[in-house]
Amino acid sequence: MQSDIILLGHGSGGRLSHQLLDDLIIPILSGMDRSDQNDAAILDNVGERVAFTTDSYVVDPIFFPGGNIGDLAVNGTVNDLAMAGARPLAISVGLILEEGLPIAELREVLTAMKEAAEEAGVAIVTGDTKVVPRGKADKIFINTSGIGIFDHGLEIGGSGARPGDKVLINGTIGDHGMAVLARREGLELGSDIRTDSAPLATLVAEIIGAGGGAVHALRDPTRGGVATTIKEIALQSEAEITLFEEALPVSPAVAGACAILGLDPLYVANEGKLLAVVAPEAADAVLAAMRAHPAGREATLIGEVAESGEGRVLMRTAIGGMRAIEMLSGEQLPRIC
Amino acid sequence: MQSDIILLGHGSGGRLSHQLLDDLIIPILSGMDRSDQNDAAILDNVGERVAFTTDSYVVDPIFFPGGNIGDLAVNGTVNDLAMAGARPLAISVGLILEEGLPIAELREVLTAMKEAAEEAGVAIVTGDTKVVPRGKADKIFINTSGIGIFDHGLEIGGSGARPGDKVLINGTIGDHGMAVLARREGLELGSDIRTDSAPLATLVAEIIGAGGGAVHALRDPTRGGVATTIKEIALQSEAEITLFEEALPVSPAVAGACAILGLDPLYVANEGKLLAVVAPEAADAVLAAMRAHPAGREATLIGEVAESGEGRVLMRTAIGGMRAIEMLSGEQLPRIC
């Protein structure tokens, strides 16, 4: 790279854009040579049924304990495909860069994307880069879109929860949101907290392998946290779901930070967690499969589908009371992903 | 909508996010109901081979003569798929909104997206919305990613140009870039100039129908203009291409505005144009097919592939001289798409 920072010309589509691609982006992200540089990637052997998803990432700051916006963007889209029961095949990368962004920071973000894609077994196949003047964006925004294919005929989404189903989660809640918040605000108390950002596709494969058609719903509790995601499942499934307060796994560091800041970890974002709603007879087998996977060692049961309904979510408290759980109202933690 | 402007909470993932989706985005963009609101769309009957592309749009201003960022974003991704010879099937929409954006402007942009998708025959199947604080973005950035399928077995890209091939274009150059620039700078002289933003997939189908395997390369000359795109084709194809200066179609209004501003229309962005590189024996038939299509009435021959080479592009001038054409150097017109 002939410049240490991003210039407006890097977004021109012309010579500087090609230099950025040839000298930095393509060497890191892919094995493409110039003859492959078309505006669309061609994928073969896709199959008749595909999953398709998109997410933009605007997290602030772009570097935080345990990760950065790059691996977050790859894992997030990998996980959206996985929640549909799909095997992630290919992703696209759309970069919006602020003029003046240090090339060294871009290199670190791209390297994290490459490593995350390798870990998730997904190919980065196409991309786009735009540059906006200083003060018109904030360092870097990343869109990742993804295509997944199916190794099974199951239909999994957020609308399949049925009365009697068990609600499982693969580990502690609130780690990602509190890691980002602690770094952004310079909080000492958050020094032990790292993002949980991780790809969940192989964990989903184990869940489906163990539960098959008994896996009724999957969703990752990102923005809005477990509370909002459970509420979405309840509404989509027209069911009433009960959560067990004592069963919710929260690390001591996250619990402490949330207590001091007056935040409820149930509403804090996760980036390496999933909620699995499974038929009761399969719950033990699915839980065992989750615990045998590196991303699910602390998997546990946190609730159950009580009955059909209009989407109510109730929390059974430690002393046996019940209180209604609503979606996140307003903005608890802006720019968390 | 309970608010006239975008609030940070509209990006929370919680209640306000759902209101924005339910009250505005979904009613305009799709027929989805709540039970379909999963993080990934499922597409059936896709076939074994798909094209996949992504583009982010950061154009300034977001409204300009003949269109806005919404239809631009749909047409741009539709066209990237079409240039691969694919039929656009589905697109995703990733919105990054600046806090304070008037809901009325968002509504107008979304409506343009819906109408452009309908015109192009492509479905908007999945999306994502993020909100950043005032001053951290500029009104609205849109990422569209797309999936296309193939009705033929041809492989079309930017690397197929061969000696003797003819270079065709479907109409005048520079209209989009000058329309945006004139609006941005408040130039009176640009008052007659409108964007050429248009979907080109059906034009490509006509081109392939007429030329078949004689269609060696297709590309849309967006950022960097015809000069940069021709240079890309020459480099990818390892060929030398000659353009005929007198044959380049430029409207009088664009020519006049470019002359006053010292811009070369050859480097100005287009959003409804394509370059088709076809075998000489098929050039007449392809040109006739292009002219029979509404988006190709002014189609014309502008150059030819001279010989194999290392990617040189030459302009044969009106007086018979030759000069080298390079890619856009630096940034002629920032944020044009």
User: Chain B residues with CB inside 8 Å of A74's CB?
Assistant: none
Pick from B9, B41, B228: CB nearest A330: B9
**What is the distance in angstroms between the Cα of A220 and the nearest Cα belonging to chain B?**
9
pLDDT at B328: 84
pLDDT at A14: 85
User: Chain A residues with CB inside 8 Å of B128's CB?
Assistant: 54-56
Helix (H) or strand (E) run with residue B73 in it: helix B69-83
Amino acid at B300: T
Spatial neighbors of A274 by CB under 8 A, at least 6 apart, are: A79, A82, A83, A169, A170, A200, A203, A204, A218, A219, A220, A221
Mean pLDDT in residue range A306-334: 88
pLDDT at B322: 95
Pick from A49, A57, A148: CB nearest B44: A49
Least confident of A29-33, B182-186, B284-288, B298-302: A29-33
pLDDT at A331: 66
**What is the distance in angstroms between the Cα of A162 and the nearest Cα belonging to chain B?**
14
pLDDT at B85: 93
CB contact under 8 A, B15 and A328: yes
Measured distance CA(B177)–CA(B108) in Å, rounded = 21
Statement: residue B307 has pLDDT above 70: yes
Measured distance CA(B317)–CA(B187) in Å, rounded = 30
First and final CA of chain B: distance in angstroms?
29
**What is the distance in angstroms between the Cα of B275 and the nearest Cα belonging to chain A?**
14
Q: Which of A37, A56, A337 to mutate to test the interface with B (most CBs of B within 10 A)?
A: A56
Statement: residue A148 has pLDDT above 60: yes
Question: Dihedral angle at the C-alpha atoms of A293, A154, B126, A130, nearest 10 degrees?
Answer: 40
Statement: residue B224 has pLDDT above 80: yes
Mean pLDDT in residue range A133-151: 96
pLDDT at A247: 97
Handedness of CA B297, B303, B309, B310 (dihedral sign): negative
Amino acid at B325: I
Q: At what angle do helices A252-261 and A175-185 cross, to 10 degrees?
A: 60
Spatial neighbors of B138 by CB under 8 A, at least 6 apart, are: A132, A136, A137, B58, B60, B98
Which B residues in the span 305-334 are in contact with A, Cβ-Cβ below 8 Å?
326-332, 334
Q: Is B153 on the interface with A (CB under 8 A)?
A: no
Mean pLDDT in residue range B22-45: 73
pLDDT at B37: 66
Q: Model confidence at A37, in pLDDT bands (50, 70, 90)?
A: low
pLDDT at A46: 80
Structure letter (DSSP) for residue B36 = G
What's the pLDDT tens digit per position in A150-179? 988 898 888 999 999 999 999 999 999 999
pTM of the full structure: 0.94
**Tell me, what's the ipTM?**
0.94
What would the two tokens of residue A281 be?
Answer: 């007879």
**What is the distance in angstroms between the Cα of A5 and the nearest Cα belonging to chain B?**
14
**What is the distance in angstroms between the Cα of B170 and the nearest Cα belonging to chain A?**
19
What three-state secondary structure class fits B130? strand
What's the pLDDT tens digit per position in A87-110? 999 999 999 999 999 999 999 999
CB contact under 8 A, B56 and A92: no
Q: How many CB pairs under 8 A join A and B?
A: 296
Q: Is A264 on the interface with B (CB under 8 A)?
A: no
Average per-residue pLDDT in chain B?
92
Spatial neighbors of A118 by CB under 8 A, at least 6 apart, are: none
Which B residues in the span 5-34 are in contact with A, Cβ-Cβ below 8 Å?
7-9, 11-18, 34
Which A residues in the span 182-221 are in contact with B, Cβ-Cβ below 8 Å?
219-220
Measured distance CA(B233)–CA(B333) in Å, rounded = 22
pLDDT at B34: 46
pLDDT at A31: 55
Statement: residue B174 has pLDDT above 90: yes
Mean pLDDT in residue range B77-97: 95
The phi, psi pair for A255, rounded to 5°, reads -60, -45
What's the pLDDT tens digit per position in B109-148? 999 999 999 999 999 999 999 999 999 999 999 999 999 9
Spatial neighbors of A91 by CB under 8 A, at least 6 apart, are: A74, A77, A78, A117, A122, A123, A124, A125, A144, A145, A146, A147
Mean pLDDT in residue range A286-309: 96
User: Chain B residues with CB inside 8 Å of A269's CB?
Assistant: 13
In total, chain A counts a number of residues equal to 337
**What is the distance in angstroms between the Cα of A137 and the nearest Cα belonging to chain B?**
4
Check residue A238 and give left, alpha or beta (phi > 0: left; psi -120 to 50: alpha). Answer: left
Please calculate the CA angle A333-B1-B6 and round it to the nearest 5 degrees. 40
**What is the distance in angstroms between the Cα of B87 and the nearest Cα belonging to chain A?**
12
pLDDT at A157: 86
Q: Model confidence at B33, in pLDDT bands (50, 70, 90)?
A: very low
Q: Model confidence at A256, in pLDDT bands (50, 70, 90)?
A: very high
Check residue B305 and give left, alpha or beta (phi > 0: left; psi -120 to 50: alpha). Answer: beta
Helix (H) or strand (E) run with residue B168 in it: strand B166-169
Statement: residue B31 has pLDDT above 70: no
What would the two tokens of residue B255 be?
Answer: 């020519």
CB contact at 8 A, B264 and B258: yes
CB contact at 8 A, A72 and A195: yes
Q: Is B154 on the interface with A (CB under 8 A)?
A: no
Statement: residue B190 has pLDDT above 70: no
Locus of tokens 């209209």:
B175
Which B residues in the span 101-140 are in contact with A, Cβ-Cβ below 8 Å?
125-128, 130-133, 135-138
What three-state secondary structure class fits B334? coil
Average per-residue pLDDT in chain A?
92
What's the pLDDT tens digit per position in A6-19? 998 898 888 888 88
Mean pLDDT in residue range A183-190: 81
Share of chain B above pLDDT 90, in %: 76
pLDDT at B296: 98
Handedness of CA B286, B287, B291, B292 (dihedral sign): negative
